[in-house]
């Protein structure tokens, strides 16, 4: 009994310590990601100033040459790091829950319980989650390249023309009311239900659960991420606004209402933008 009581007490403090370490690690990743984005915006602003005297006609020419491998890697890294900064905060409840389950299982092992299933490190769950968003980043990089090749992207990495921006706003707003959005959001908002339904053993199971959870998050948020092409991919105010909205609809008690209000606002904004573009034509 004394051995089991000692193990339970130590497990309690271990869980608290691990929780703090996990939160600190996640916070460090998010801070570093945002620091990188800020540095990139500063670098791009400096480049814009340096090329301010270049003939504007030549700058407006479509980029005919395909991206080099270095261009692809640079943009992919930018998108992937941006997703870390934007999405890790809203994934924190699921990450902490997985870590809590793992801590309880390890406590059972120390207490001498038999036939306890192996629990993989929390880092594998997080790695799987980020793998899903890396897949999204590859698709976003390809879309950015395609838009640039046909001269539909401004130097600020936003779609050119009010009409295009209005269509994206309406499209993103309409997606907020779809059944797919609702289903994915429910999974993101209920980490307990997600882990109970999709639990898998071992290292591959942990990574697989992370990928599945990340896939639900991609399904929930991909249309919102398309809004980056409206305000500018590297517009930090725009990036921050989207990240805060994602966090609110996933983690606040009124997340479902936030989804609907946000969708309605995007549709109204998009229709107003389209009407303004039509009037100016």
Angle at 168 between CA 165 and CA 170, to 5 degrees: 110
pLDDT at residue 3, as a whole number:
41
Greatest mean pLDDT among 114-118, 187-191, 218-222 lies in 218-222
pLDDT at 103: 78
What string of DSSP letters covers 186-234?
HHHH-HHHHHHHH---HHHHHHHHHHHHHHHHHHHHHHHHHTHHHH-TT
- As a whole number, mean pLDDT of residues 88-115 equals 80
**Rounded mean pLDDT of 17-33?**
91
| pLDDT value for 63 | 46
Alpha-carbon distance of 62 to 4, in angstroms, equals: 70
DSSP string spanning 23-57?
HHHHHHHHHHHHHHHHHHHHHHHHHHHHTTTS-HH
Q: Is the pLDDT of residue 183 over 80?
A: yes
Check: CB of residue 213 under 8 Å from CB of residue 94.
Answer: yes
Between 222 and 47, the more confident residue is 222
Residue 109 has a pLDDT of 65
- Average pLDDT over the chain, rounded to whole? 86
Q: Where residue 281 falls among pLDDT bands split at 50, 70, 90?
A: confident
Between residues 146 and 13, the one the model is more confident about: 146
3-state secondary structure (DSSP) of residue 68: coil
Lowest-pLDDT range of 14-23, 176-185, 255-264: 14-23
Domains of the chain, residue spans: 2-46+68-280
Q: Tell me how far apart the alpha carbons of residues 100 and 144 are, in angstroms, rounded to a whole number.
A: 39
Rounded distance, CA 87 to CA 93, Å? 12
Report the candidate in 169, 176, 170 with the shortest Cα–Cα distance to residue 256.
176
For the ranges 20-24, 49-53, 144-148, 198-202, the lowest mean pLDDT is seen at 49-53
Could you read off the pLDDT of 47-100 as tens digits, one per residue?
766 665 554 444 444 444 678 888 899 999 999 999 999 999 999 999 999 988
pLDDT the model gives residue 50? 66
Mention every residue, 6+ apart, whose C-beta is less than 8 A from residue 2.
none
Q: pLDDT class for 111, splitting at 50, 70, 90?
A: low
In this prediction, residue 11 has a pLDDT band, given cuts at 50, 70 and 90, of very low
């Amino acid at each position: 009994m004394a051995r089991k009581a000692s193990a339970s007490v130590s497990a309690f403090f271990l869980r608290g310590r691990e929780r703090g370490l996990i939160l600190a690690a996640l916070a460090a990743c998010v801070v570093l990601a945002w620091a990188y984005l800020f540095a990139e915006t500063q670098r791009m602003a400096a480049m814009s100033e340096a090329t301010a005297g270049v003939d504007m006609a030549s700058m407006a020419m479509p980029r005919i040459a395909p991206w080099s491998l270095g261009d692809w890697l640079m943009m992919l890294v930018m998108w992937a790091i941006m997703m870390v900064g934007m999405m890790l905060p809203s994934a924190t409840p699921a990450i902490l829950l997985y870590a809590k389950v793992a801590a309880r299982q390890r406590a059972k092992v120390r207490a001498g319980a038999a036939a306890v299933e192996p629990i993989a490190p929390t880092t594998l769950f997080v790695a799987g989650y980020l793998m899903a968003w890396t897949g999204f980043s590859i698709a976003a990089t390809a879309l950015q390249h395609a838009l640039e090749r046909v001269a539909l992207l401004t130097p600020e990495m936003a779609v050119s023309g009010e009409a295009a921006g209005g269509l994206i706003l309406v499209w993103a707003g309409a997606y907020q009311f779809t059944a797919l959005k609702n289903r994915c959001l429910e999974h993101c908002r209920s980490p307990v239900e997600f882990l109970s339904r999709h639990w898998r053993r071992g290292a591959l199971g942990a990574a697989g659960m992370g990928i599945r959870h990340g896939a639900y998050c991609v399904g929930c948020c991909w249309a919102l991420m398309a809004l980056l092409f409206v305000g500018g991919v590297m517009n930090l105010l725009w990036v921050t606004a989207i990240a805060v909205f994602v966090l609110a609809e996933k983690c606040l008690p009124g997340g479902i209402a936030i989804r609907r209000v946000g969708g309605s606002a995007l549709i109204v904004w998009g229709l107003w933008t389209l009407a303004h573009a039509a009037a100016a034509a």
